[in-house]
Structure 1
Amino acid sequence: MVAPLSAWPWEHLGIFKYILYGPLAAKAWYSWMYEDNILKDLWCIHILLICTLRGLIHQLWSSYNNMFFLTRNRWIKQQGVDFKQIDDEWDWDNFIILQAMLASMASLIFPSLNTLPLWNLKGFIASLLLHVTISEPLYYWAHRFFHKPYLFNHYHSLHHSSPVPHPFTAGHATPLEHLVLCTVIGIPITGSILMGYGSTAMIYGHVLVFDFFRCLGHSNAEVVPHEVFNKLPLLRYFIYTPTYHSLHHTEMETNFCLFMPLFDALGSTLNTKSLELHKKITSNSGKNGRVPDFVFLAHVVDIMSAMHTPFALRSFASTPFCMRMFLLPFWPLTFIIMLVMWGWSKTFLFSFYNLRGRLHQTWVVPRFGFQYFLPFATKGINKHIEEAILRADRLGVKVISLAALNKNEALNGGGTLFVNKHPELKVRVVHGNTLTAAVILNEFSKDVKEVFLTGATSKLGRATALYLCRKRVRVLMLTSSTERFQKILKETPVDCQNYLVQVTKYQAAQNCKV
């Protein structure tokens, strides 16, 4: 039997769950269009706006976490977020819908909330004091309680099922946990209002700052420099860090606090490794991390696909590409970003994965597909590719593969331009065709003496023929183009040229076994 409040009632609605915001939007629209007193239903607009801003805060933190070119040296956990975690956290924003409903109920029950002043400094002070004295200890003990066997197995284990902390992980929890969190976040707001110090700005500020620090704690990139704690040692008890909270996900009997490690210290649950690990991660932020074994050098396809990158929209990046019409309003902004990248950006780290103990990275040349067909842009593109190859060589990368248009024959001869220009390169410059050729060649037996090759002057055929002739294997190259055959022949060492034979008919292979 499913435990009560362990599943969201709208979890099967999918994207249609956002219809639940419909009554708020309809109420605000009706009041705006047909009622004289617009301020009467202003609370609807405030709730919708706060929900939008909360989603934006989480999205911005997610974008920052996925900008590996900025955060790679500050990673707390070195493995990336896999597709299973993305799927599990797909409905991370359910709690925003829940709290919007609760806020709507409060606004209907207490109409006086519509008359709150815009600003009251005393309200900020009161909410801060109530947060420190009530919300922080309440969350601490509630969190410890959720680690009891029954509550953990039926509720809190969902939150801990995410192997790599991510800002969306902050919202990945059960309804019961978020109801408790509603109480934690609501006490300072309610208390300030009851004291007569409430204001609209205080509500906005408290909710958004609360979400900001929740996202900070669930970031997999450390953002707080350890020098801050060296200069202000007591500060370590009043503000947690991503490293601090990540230890709770690995050593679950420690670091229970909401935002203030002071309560872990008072409750004897402060992990003694916290400060040391934090210093280690931030100290290494200026150093190069692990050198990748393989680099895939790609480029941006077009403006619409650019909006599907992980640091733009993580959910879209995890699904097959398709045109989404609601993204069209963002097209002009993406176009401006494209122009900025054209003028100032460098090749950057886009993604990574580990396979059989080897680190594979994707680097992206900051150019879009159409730019490869602009004659005046080719020099700049080749410069970016060359710099990426030289950088990979300096780092000690074993293989760099040119992807898509980066290996265009008209652009750089499939990469031969760089290999010929830098014969001392240690990194192997390859592309899909050469890798395919390697797979084909691996299928040949070692005692093969003669091979009949169709498509002999294609990129794949050329690579295969050049390799085989160096191995003293006679290659019958089927091609009617003497010009293309001669071009390949010139690339062949003089002592191997007699192993390449041009043929124009399939009958030439009648005595050939391969």
Structure 2
Amino acid sequence: MASKPGLFTEWPWQRLGSFKYMILAPWVAHSTYSFVTKGEVERDLLSFLIFPFLLSRWIHNQIWISISRFQTGRSKHKIVHKGIEFEQVDREANWDDQILLNGAALYVVTKHFPGISLWRTDGIIITILLHVGPVEFLYYWLHRALHHHYLYSRYHSHHHSSIVTEPITSVVHPFAEMLIYFILFAIPLMTTALSRTASIVSVYGYMTFIDFMNNLGHCNFEIVPKWLFHIFPTLKYIIYTPSYHSLHHTQFRTNYALFMPMYDYIYGTVDKSSDDLYEASLKGKEERTDVVHLTHPTTLQSIYHLRLGLASLASKPHTSKWYLWMMGPISWGSMLLTWIFGSTFVVESTTLNKVKMQTWAIPRYSFQYLSCKRATINRLIEEAILEAEREGVKVLSLGLLNQGEELNKNGELYLQRHPGLKIRVVDGSTLAVAIVLRNIPKGTKQVLMRGKLSKTGCAAALALCQKGIQVTTACKDEFEKLKLLLQAECASYLVFSDSLNVKTWLVGDGLSEEDQRRAYKGTRFIPFSQFPPKKVRKDCTYYLTPAMKIPKHLENMHACENWLPRRVMSAWRVAGIVHALEEWDAHECGDKMLDIEEVWIAALKHGFLPLFQA
């Protein structure tokens, strides 16, 4: 929102939320019905193609968003080396409003200009000339006017709230401002329509051109090659670059041009550092990564919740959305492509106290880890560890199923294969145990273990017995396993029983719905697994998987980690960061555990905070 919102700041359909798309439903239905029922001569192809064109614009913008986020997560060619926060994601969540506005206008206009041809060369030439002349010229002066204090504080400051731009930043404006831009860009379209020289190619081509150039100028990495300006020197005045427009968002009073810098050169508003920033962005700046967290997608829908997916979904905890099932072919297609050609990819980059961190993802889903393809998955994880080693990464933490005991013995397999690894491999179990112990309410005398007993669950059970808290398990094999690890004086606190007369449950993977229904009202389900249990009861309390709130000064955190809330990290991810900050030299995988209290105190020291206060 602008600092002093002016008139018509709010979009007309803002209060409709997700139902705003319904405003186009009558138009879509009418144009489709008319096209199907009318004869070939009477059909209005332009009107019928509006809805597919709007969808293509949405896809076009989304491709730019994903590519830009992928590049800024891994590329050395970033222009502004700062982070994006959740506030910016929320502010830019309505980027598709301008597509709705354009769609509604197109449906109205086509009613007065039916029968437009597919191609007309004269109309295309007129559109190009009108854009280069009146549109670029008028936009330049309009843009300068919007930087006057009165208009800037009421309208344009909303756009400039984003110092680090993303492609969709280009279309995030108050309604009144966007309406003026719409009228400006309508000059070539209305001129060709009134002169009967418009065509489907000129109308949709011009709008696609505007989308392309807007996205290009607002992606935070340099993409325009230098050789292009060497071959065609005059292009410097005809086409802007991402670094050129980025200066407008950091300096504010320079580089006002729309897409053609020549007007800045003519009127003396070009930033003097434009060429230097362009050269520096192309050259890039190498940044060594200190910590890598190795994760993987969970469900087929989880690809849309990744930072590289849909920004609005990525900024919220992962929950199933009904409309994503309609994108099933895309989901299955992406899984097939990653299965055939995929390799580990960078999901996001963050920074804490000058420690550079990245999240990498194995291109396999949770259900694939449970199949017979474990050798392939182990190879992908091993390759990721070796790649991180070559890049000088200090610590790699294993997230989700990448540290399964059956898969790789909690990461020990890779140390056995490569005993000389300099990179420290961390499974994060010690910090996870520390969090589980502190989630248990004070004064608890007895806990019940349910679900599969992992390394974390085993360590938590032993720690509780050592504290004099009774641990009950109904699995004979797990009971015997824990009993062998316990010291004689603590063995009496481990009980083998099928009784559910306990209101504090420590749960792992595989907790059955039947067991949950048998639990007493008010039971607390505290997971020690990386995956949360399915919520069956409304009268019981379900804790989050072991996690901690991140420090306020951790930068570039604008996506949620799976089902966790905003600015919350899983214990396994936090453990890798703390390991690097403390410069611990030991691995933490296999059967090895660190000192629970030492790890917990270290996490608090570096600004991580508990989610629950027991």
- TM-score calculated relative to the size of structure 2: 0.70
Determine if contact 2:240/2:259 at 8 Å carries over to the other structure.
yes
Q: Secondary structure of the residue that 2:79 maps to in structure 1?
A: coil
Alpha carbons of structure 1 residues 70 and 346: separation in structure 2 relative to 1, 3 Å? farther
Query: 1:135 aligns to what?
Result: 135
Q: CA deviation at 1:327?
A: 2.1
Q: CA deviation at 1:69?
A: 8.1
| Letter of the 2:493 counterpart | Y
Q: CA deviation at 1:221?
A: 2.4
Separation in 2, partners of 1:71, 1:405: 24
| Letter of the 2:87 counterpart | K
Alpha carbons of structure 1 residues 69 and 127: separation in structure 2 relative to 1, 3 Å? closer
Determine if contact 1:292/1:359 at 8 Å carries over to the other structure.
yes
Q: 2:95 pairs with 92, 108, 125, which one? A: 92
Q: Does residue 387 of structure 2 align to residue 391 of structure 1? A: yes
Query: 1:72 aligns to what?
Result: 75
Aligned pairs for 1:195-206 within 5 A: 195-206=195-206
Separation in 2, partners of 1:52, 1:419: 49
Determine if contact 1:68/1:350 at 8 Å carries over to the other structure.
no
Q: CA deviation at 1:75?
A: 2.0
Alpha carbons of structure 1 residues 381 and 33: separation in structure 2 relative to 1, 3 Å? closer
Q: Does residue 416 of structure 2 align to residue 420 of structure 1? A: yes
Q: Does residue 294 of structure 2 align to residue 297 of structure 1? A: yes
Query: 1:378 aligns to what?
Result: 374
Q: CA deviation at 1:334?
A: 2.0
Query: 1:101 aligns to what?
Result: 104
Q: 1:407 pairs with 396, 403, 407, which one? A: 403
Count of residue correspondences: 476
Determine if contact 2:74/2:346 at 8 Å carries over to the other structure.
no
Separation in 2, partners of 1:326, 1:38: 37
Bigger-Rg structure (1/2): 1
Alpha carbons of structure 1 residues 501 and 358: separation in structure 2 relative to 1, 3 Å? farther
Alpha carbons of structure 1 residues 184 and 257: separation in structure 2 relative to 1, 3 Å? same
Q: Secondary structure of the residue that 1:67 maps to in structure 2?
A: helix
Determine if contact 1:401/1:429 at 8 Å carries over to the other structure.
yes
Alpha carbons of structure 1 residues 71 and 401: separation in structure 2 relative to 1, 3 Å? closer
1:434-455 C-alpha deviation (Å, 9 max, x unpaired): 333578999xxxxxxxxxxx99
Separation in 1, partners of 2:484, 2:278: 59
Determine if contact 1:240/1:260 at 8 Å carries over to the other structure.
yes
Q: Secondary structure of the residue that 1:297 maps to in structure 2?
A: strand
Q: CA deviation at 1:6?
A: 2.0
Aligned pairs for 1:227-242 within 5 A: 227-242=227-242
Q: CA deviation at 1:77?
A: 2.3
Alpha carbons of structure 1 residues 336 and 461: separation in structure 2 relative to 1, 3 Å? closer
Q: Secondary structure of the residue that 1:334 maps to in structure 2?
A: helix
Q: Secondary structure of the residue that 1:114 maps to in structure 2?
A: coil
Query: 1:493 aligns to what?
Result: none
Larger mean Cα displacement after TM superposition, 47-56 or 125-134:
47-56
Query: 2:581 aligns to what?
Result: none
Query: 2:594 aligns to what?
Result: none
Alpha carbons of structure 1 residues 387 and 35: separation in structure 2 relative to 1, 3 Å? closer
Separation in 2, partners of 1:387, 1:239: 41
Aligned pairs for 1:271-286 within 5 A: 271-284=271-284
Structure 1 runs (4+) greater than 6 angstroms displaced: 438-442, 461-467, 478-483, 485-489
Q: 1:506 pairs with 487, 493, 496, which one? A: 493
Determine if contact 1:216/1:241 at 8 Å carries over to the other structure.
yes
Q: CA deviation at 1:362?
A: 0.9
Percent identity over the alignment is 37
1:292-329 C-alpha deviation (Å, 9 max, x unpaired): 22211101212122233232322112222222232223
Separation in 2, partners of 1:142, 1:345: 47
Unaligned runs of 5+ in 2: 439-447, 495-596, 598-614
Determine if contact 2:46/2:200 at 8 Å carries over to the other structure.
no
Separation in 2, partners of 1:146, 1:339: 48
Q: CA deviation at 1:291?
A: 2.1
Query: 1:254 aligns to what?
Result: 254
Query: 2:207 aligns to what?
Result: 207
Determine if contact 2:162/2:169 at 8 Å carries over to the other structure.
yes
| Letter of the 2:155 counterpart | Y
Separation in 2, partners of 1:196, 1:35: 23
Determine if contact 1:166/1:218 at 8 Å carries over to the other structure.
yes
Separation in 2, partners of 1:458, 1:63: 36
Q: Does residue 431 of structure 2 align to residue 431 of structure 1? A: no
Separation in 2, partners of 1:487, 1:312: 47
Q: CA deviation at 1:30?
A: 4.0
Determine if contact 2:122/2:197 at 8 Å carries over to the other structure.
yes
| Letter of the 2:492 counterpart | K
| Larger relative contact order (Cα-Cα within 8 Å, sequence gap ≥ 6) | 2
Separation in 1, partners of 2:138, 2:194: 20
Query: 2:126 aligns to what?
Result: 126
| Letter of the 2:104 counterpart | M
Quote the RMSD (CA, aligned, Å): 3.5
| Letter of the 1:31 counterpart | S
Aligned pairs for 1:305-320 within 5 A: 305-320=302-317
Determine if contact 2:296/2:362 at 8 Å carries over to the other structure.
yes
Separation in 2, partners of 1:102, 1:168: 21
Q: CA deviation at 1:157?
A: 0.5
Q: Secondary structure of the residue that 1:90 maps to in structure 2?
A: coil
